[in-house]
Homo-oligomer: A and B are copies of this chain.
Amino acid sequence: MITSKKTSRPRASKLARPSGPARHPVPAHVLRSFTPARHDHRRCVSAALSKADATCNASGRRLTPLRRRVLELVWRSHTPVKAYDLLAALGREREQAAPPTVYRALDFLLEAGLVHRIASLNAFVGCGEPGPGHTGQFLICTACGTVAELDEPALSKTIAASAERLGFEVRRETIEIAGLCAGCRRRGAD
C-alpha cells in the first residue's frame, strides 16, 4: 500500500479536479471523492495536514510530530492503509517503531476524527472533512482500492426510521459499500 504509492508529479499542476466535462460531477454530500486520475497529490496531502493542524488547535488536541507523520502516511495513498504498512514505513525512517506506536497514533487520529477505520478491510483512510459528528459512509472500489466518503443524510434517515420501528437506538453507523468506481468500470475492470 504505502510502498506502491505513485510518485506524484509536481509540475502537472492542473486543478485537483479535472475541469473538463466530468461524467460524474461530484455532488455536495461527497466528503472525499474518488481520485481524479491525475492530480497534484502533494497538495492533497498538505491540505489535509493543514486542516488537521487547525482542528487540533481548535479542540486543544496535540498533533505531535509522530501523530502528524502517521496522518501524512495515511494520506500518502488514496486507498486504505494497513496498520502494519504504516509500521513498516515508520520503521524505515526511525529506529523505534513497534505496533503500539502506530496503534496509539491511529487511536488519537480516529478520536480526533482525522482518519476513519474501514472495518471490512482492517484499514484506515484519511477523513476528508475532519470534525466530530459525521459517520462513516464509504464506497470502496474493489478494483483500484480507492475509497470515497459520503455524508448522505438520506441514508442515516432511512436507517433511523428502520431502527425506530424496532425501538432500537442508533449509536454508530458502519456503512461500507464495495463495488466498482466509475473509472474502473470505464476501463472494464472486473
A residues lining the B interface (CB < 8 Å): 23-24, 26-27, 29-30, 33-34, 119-120, 139, 141-142, 148, 150, 152, 154-155, 158-159, 161-163, 165-182, 185
* CB <8 Å contact, B179 and A169: yes
The docked-state distance in angstroms from the alpha carbon of A182 to that of B165 is 10
Least CB separation from A139: chain B residue: B168
Least CB separation from A26: chain B residue: B166
Given contacts A155-B155, A174-B178, 10 further A-B contacts (CB under 8 A): A24-B167, A27-B165, A139-B163, A148-B168, A154-B158, A155-B158, A159-B175, A168-B179, A174-B174, A174-B176
- A30 proximity list for chain B (CB < 8 A): 166
Do A182 and B167 form a contact, CB below 8 Å, given A162-B150, A162-B155, A177-B159? yes
* CB <8 Å contact, B173 and A177: yes
* CB <8 Å contact, A182 and B155: no
* CB <8 Å contact, B176 and A24: no
Least CB separation from A172: chain B residue: B178
A79 to chain B, nearest CB (A): 15
Interface hub of A139, A159, A180 (most chain B Cβ within 10 A): A159
* CB <8 Å contact, A168 and B155: no
A148 to chain B, nearest CB (A): 7
- A29 proximity list for chain B (CB < 8 A): 162
